[in-house]
């Protein structure tokens, strides 16, 4: 499957905000976005053009797509599915993206970033209800049990991810046992539960795809 292989920091600079694509390293003052304020390919003194309504909607979509490390086709599939579901399309979209297995691994602090979580899943280190699942896009359900395989619990990337659990805790709709390196999906997240996405306006994305 195709994947983005260019520098991640260019994406953050393009959106002019930290997307935390490298996990903890993005919280450092050494992050390039702290040093280079302008968009990639433009000088620091280059004038910014006025963005059209379409441009604003596009940028919002790009932010969300890049945060979850998806390509355009993948993101469009999620939007179409969300639009067909009952309820508010924007909220449905967030629900689907949050239920991805790689995102759950990241939220449980078994990895430091979503990209790292995707690799952990693809390499067969994750069990869902005691069954090995190696599909990062697998959608978890309420009461699903997520476990790291016994022989994988001592992996350095997983230990590093769990350090963040001790300092930041876990989102309310998940329950994690760091000693057993497992967790349970207590509930399907609602839009208000996803606090780190409060700066994303999903209505702009809905308007973009509705044209």
What's the pLDDT at 68? Answer: 93
Distance between CA atoms of residues 72 and 62, nearest Å: 9
- Which letter, b or e, does each residue of 120-145 get, where b requires 16 or more Cβ atoms within 10 Å of its Cβ? bbeeebbbbeeeebeebbbbbeeebe
Instruction: Name the nearest CA neighbour of 113 among 7, 33, 24, 195.
Output: 24
Are 74 and 136 in contact, with CB atoms under 8 Å apart? no
Indicate the DSSP class of residue 139: B
What's the pLDDT at 1? Answer: 47
Instruction: Name the nearest CA neighbour of 126 among 107, 109, 143, 110.
Output: 110
What's the pLDDT at 28? Answer: 53
Could you list the pLDDT tens digit for every one of the 211 residues in the chain? 455 555 555 555 555 555 555 555 545 555 555 555 555 555 555 556 778 999 889 989 998 998 998 999 999 999 999 999 999 999 999 999 999 999 999 999 999 889 999 999 999 999 999 999 999 999 999 999 999 999 999 999 999 889 887 767 789 999 999 999 999 999 999 998 898 888 889 999 999 998 7
What's the pLDDT at 99? Answer: 97
User: Between the CA of residue 182 and those of 20, 51, 71, what are the distances in Å?
Assistant: 24, 45, 29
Take residue 24 and report the two structure tokens written for it: 């903890």
Domains for the chain: give ranges and CATH numbers.
8-40+50-97+195-209 (1.10.1050.10), 100-188 (3.10.290.10)
Distance between CA atoms of residues 116 and 63, nearest Å: 19
């Amino acid at each position: 499957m195709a994947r983005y292989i260019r520098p991640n920091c260019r994406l953050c600079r393009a959106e002019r905000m930290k997307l935390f694509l490298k996990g903890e390293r993005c919280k450092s003052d050494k992050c390039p976005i702290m040093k280079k304020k302008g968009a990639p390919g433009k000088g620091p003194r280059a004038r910014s053009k006025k963005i059209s309504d379409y441009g604003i909607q596009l940028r919002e979509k790009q932010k969300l797509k890049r945060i979850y490390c998806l390509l355009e086709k993948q993101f469009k599939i999620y939007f179409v599915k969300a639009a067909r579901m009952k309820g508010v399309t924007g909220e449905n979209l967030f629900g689907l993206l949050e239920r991805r297995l790689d995102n759950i691994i990241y939220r449980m602090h078994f990895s430091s970033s979503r990209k790292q979580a995707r690799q952990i899943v693809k390499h067969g280190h994750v069990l869902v209800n005691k069954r090995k699942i190696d599909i990062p896009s697998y959608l978890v359900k309420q009461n699903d049990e997520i476990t790291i395989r016994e022989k994988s619990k001592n992996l350095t990337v997983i230990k590093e991810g769990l350090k963040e659990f001790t300092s930041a805790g876990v989102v309310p709709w998940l329950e994690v046992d760091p000693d057993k390196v497992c967790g349970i999906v207590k509930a399907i997240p609602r839009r208000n539960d996803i606090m780190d996405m409060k700066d994303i306006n999903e209505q702009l994305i809905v308007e973009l795809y509705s044209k």
